[in-house]
Structure 1
Amino acid sequence: MFVILVYDVNQKRVAKVLKKCRQYLHWVQNSVLEGEISEANYKKLKMDIEKIIRQDEDSVIFYTLRTTKYSSREIVGLQKSSNENIL
């Protein structure tokens, strides 16, 4: 599956969340990651994130797509990360 992850967490936890997410997904820009991930790794990532964040203070949104066949991606302005790791 293809996942787009967006997070808004307290600054104290930003580095931990980003580090954990980068183990599974590709960093796109501030607080946004994306990439192909297996169902098992998706569940593991969600569990790991839940251990890091505070439910009453932080927010993490997972957008899941079964395929990217009908999607497109367009960048306007500065590209924050390279596409070399994007399949």
Structure 2
Amino acid sequence: MARLTYFLEPWNDPLGAGYQLNNSLIAIGSGGLFGLGLGESLQKLFYLPEAHTDFIFAIIAEELGLLGTIILLLLYSLLIYRIFAIGFMA
């Protein structure tokens, strides 16, 4: 139950259980519309300990911004669509 509570309200314990979620939200917000540029993320260097696995989407959002994440989600949607289309034809 505590994990759900910290997921819904990560600011209640910003240095404890909510630390990674807080920093991932900061990373997403600091990306803005166009992002900071590839390799320019500060969160992955200093604040997110598992940025390359658990919070990769937050780092992508920081580096590529809102437009980059929308394009990424569209590519994932296209991939899922193609998987189902091929599956229905088989």
Output the TM-score relative to the length of structure 2: 0.32
Compare CA radii of gyration and give the structure with the larger one: 2
Greater share of strand: 1
Greater share of helix: 2
Instruction: Say which structure, 1 or 2, has more relative contact order (CA 8 Å, 6+ apart).
Output: 1
